[in-house]
Structure 1
Amino acid sequence: MFWRLFLTFWIAIFSLTSMAIAKPVEVVATIKPIHSFLSALMKGAGEPILLMKDVTPYDYSPSPEDQALLKRADLVVWMGPELEKSVAEILTPEIKDYEMLSDTEFKVLPDRKIDNLRDPYMWLDVRNAEVFLDSLYEKIVTLDPKNEKIFKKNRNTLKYKITALDRKFEFGFRGIAAGISWMYHDTHQYFEQSYAFKSLGFLSEHPSENAQTANIFKMRAALNNFDKICFFVEEGLSQKNMSLAINKEQVQVGTLKSFGLSLPAGPDLYVDMMQYNYDTIANCYASIGAKYRGAKPLNKIAQ
């Protein structure tokens, strides 16, 4: 009897110790918007690791420590080679990765300039973001099933916030579709399709490149047709030779933060980033006289 109790006691101690030192789930996100989704989902049960901390994928170069991190991670979430080329180059078969651009559940658009490439900026479609949540939720639950209830509650909370954004953008941007703009980089194809935001052209042929001389001349010629226009640049991406294309009295410049570089990383970044971009575009259009209609009230959605 004594030995049975003694054995039971030590089995219990061993089990508790094993639980205490159990390896936490390691999930790596390449860019801040993906990291934000994962941070919101895992809140209260873990924290994802951000790979690219204040740099765009076009300027990122993986360190030996980063490569070791990817190899030991339980899951690496990235968009795809069109965006994180440097990550694609170091992926090996033993790395457990989830390439979001290859998920057929998402709306994936072709690149408007380069044949056979996908446009990787799909997180800028808020409706895509809602589907992201479900897919990421399923993967996190598979890795850490004991915290499923926490993940589910977090998913529903963020989904409500994203649905609110969608309603606001839909009713707001349809009212300012007449706004005239150019962009330095073609990053908002998804946003355009969802919310009637239109751009007349782009200075660069690809977000990783500088302005093309021919496109600078096209924009300068286009300015002759309008009293005022908006011109949008992306934080962290090249703005070289921008001054050659714009007349400061005629052009209102707005800076978008689609990578969230200067915003605090974490669960609130995605909503804050999208709201910031929305406000930047809306305020610029208002400054040039485009008519803006506010968003309709959002009816409460059951969580």
Structure 2
Amino acid sequence: MNKTLRAFFLSAALLSAGPALAQEAVPRVIVSIKPIHSLVAAIMDGVGEPGLIVEGAASPHTYSLKPSNAAALQEADVVFWVGHGLEAFLDKPLETLGGKATVVELEDAPGLEKLPFREGGPFEAHVHEGEDHDHAAGDGHDHEAEGESEEGHDHAHAEGGGHEGHEHGETDMHLWLDPGNARAIAAEIAAKLSEKDPAHADAYKANLAALEGRLDALDKEIAGIVAPVRDRPFIVFHDAYQYFEHRYGVKAAGSITVSPETLPGAERLSQIRDKVKTLGATCVFAEPQFEPKLVEVVIEGTPAKSGTLDPEAATYDAGPDLYFDLMKGLATSLRDCLGAAG
């Protein structure tokens, strides 16, 4: 009788612990920034919830790791980040704290289209000898459509000499601002999670398929939103939007600063104000994390209007829908400001 009772209670204990054991089997996943966290959360939907390092309105450009972040990295099984050129604050912690974790640098995801840094806030320095065009003007042309592959187009020319304050490599790291790149990033996320957690590989695969469908629909929606204002030049706070420009053909004419780590001086602000006047830039866009008064200085004495763009999702709540809200928010802000100014 005692053996029967012991077996009964043991079985009951195992049954009650089942969900907890299943939950424990899911990898502990940590993600650096909100836009990438959103894609990871979508892939993990119904399986688990990833942690986030750069929360709230913080920016990866100026972030300092908190003790709670360090503890989370120490316990993590998988860490997703964009790479050295964006989240520089993670370089040393990932070496020292993320020793047991699988660290995935999404800059290396297969299928990404990478663009080089532009060489100055006003962008003109990117025109090369013998070339008639200026990529950096945001012409949005498609190399492949013109019979020229990305591999065949020499993007190695952004040597970094004009990147004021940048300590990054040659690649512009705001990769997520192109839904095509978001697809490539999502596929890499699903692949790495499936390797680490084969028990849930089918769920990751199904979630990836659903996410790809949403990204395709988003791409078409954004193209429609910005179509009426594609020919109207604008100025941005920092040079974060090249992928969005390249995808949708909108015309950023320059940035107040290349790197938000280095605030512009009086000479730079004067250059940008002159550019606003010369080109007839209709809008100058601030960002939530950085000093809005700089934009007021730039538009003073010009007919340009001010707006706000949020490329790193400072004002959005983290979660699987954030990426879609972020991208539609960029498109809508551009349309509303440029349309009103036109």
- TM-score, normalised with respect to structure 1: 0.84
One-letter code of the match for 1:83?
L
Q: Which residue of 2 aligns with 1:102?
A: 108
The counterpart of 1:269, out of the listed 308, 322, 330, is: 322
C-alpha contact (below 8 Å) 1:230/1:251 kept by paired residues: yes
The counterpart of 2:340, out of the listed 262, 287, 303, is: 287
How far, CA to CA, are the matches of 1:149 and 1:202 in structure 2?
44
Give percent identity, aligned residues only.
27
Aligned ranges 1:109-128 → 2 under 5 Å: 109-113=115-119, 114=160, 116-128=169-181
One-letter code of the match for 2:60?
P
The counterpart of 1:202, out of the listed 255, 260, 284, is: 255
The counterpart of 1:49, out of the listed 44, 48, 51, is: 51
Does residue 218 in structure 1 map to residue 271 in structure 2?
yes
Task: Say which is worse superposed, 46-55 or 91-100, in terms of deviation.
Answer: 91-100
Task: Say which is worse superposed, 276-285 or 21-30, in terms of deviation.
Answer: 21-30
Does residue 235 in structure 1 map to residue 288 in structure 2?
yes
One-letter code of the match for 2:327?
M
Q: Which residue of 2 aligns with 1:72?
A: 75
Q: Where do 4+ consecutive residues of structure 1 move more than 6 Å?
A: 5-15
Aligned ranges 1:156-175 → 2 under 5 Å: 156-175=209-228
Does residue 61 in structure 1 map to residue 67 in structure 2?
no
How far, CA to CA, are the matches of 1:111 and 1:275 in structure 2?
24
How far, CA to CA, are the matches of 2:173 and 2:279 in structure 1?
32
For residues 192-215 of structure 1, what are the alpha-carbon distances to aligned partners after superposition, in whole Å with 9 as ceiling and x for unaligned?
111111111111131322124333
For residues 80-114 of structure 1, what are the alpha-carbon distances to aligned partners after superposition, in whole Å with 9 as ceiling and x for unaligned?
12111111121124342111113343222222233
For residues 159-202 of structure 1, what are the alpha-carbon distances to aligned partners after superposition, in whole Å with 9 as ceiling and x for unaligned?
22211121123344344221121112100011111111111111
- TM-score, normalised with respect to structure 2: 0.75
Deviation of 1:275 after TM superposition, in Å, equals 0.5
One-letter code of the match for 2:310?
K
Task: Say which is worse superposed, 136-145 or 190-199, in terms of deviation.
Answer: 136-145
Q: Which residue of 1 aligns with 2:30?
A: 28
How far, CA to CA, are the matches of 2:267 and 2:190 in structure 1?
45
Structure 1 alignment gaps of length 5 or more: 290-303
Structure 2 alignment gaps of length 5 or more: 120-159, 162-168
Shift in alpha-carbon separation, 1:225–1:63, aligned structure 2, 3 A: closer
**Alignment RMSD, CA only?**
2.6
For residues 85-144 of structure 1, what are the alpha-carbon distances to aligned partners after superposition, in whole Å with 9 as ceiling and x for unaligned?
111121124342111113343222222233543211000011101111111111122233
Shift in alpha-carbon separation, 1:139–1:227, aligned structure 2, 3 A: closer
One-letter code of the match for 2:49?
E
Shift in alpha-carbon separation, 1:260–1:109, aligned structure 2, 3 A: same
Task: Say which is worse superposed, 88-97 or 123-132, in terms of deviation.
Answer: 88-97
Report the 3-state secondary structure (helix = DSSP H, G, I; strand = E; otherwise coil) of the residue aligned with 2:284.
strand
Deviation of 1:263 after TM superposition, in Å, equals 1.1
Deviation of 1:252 after TM superposition, in Å, equals 1.4
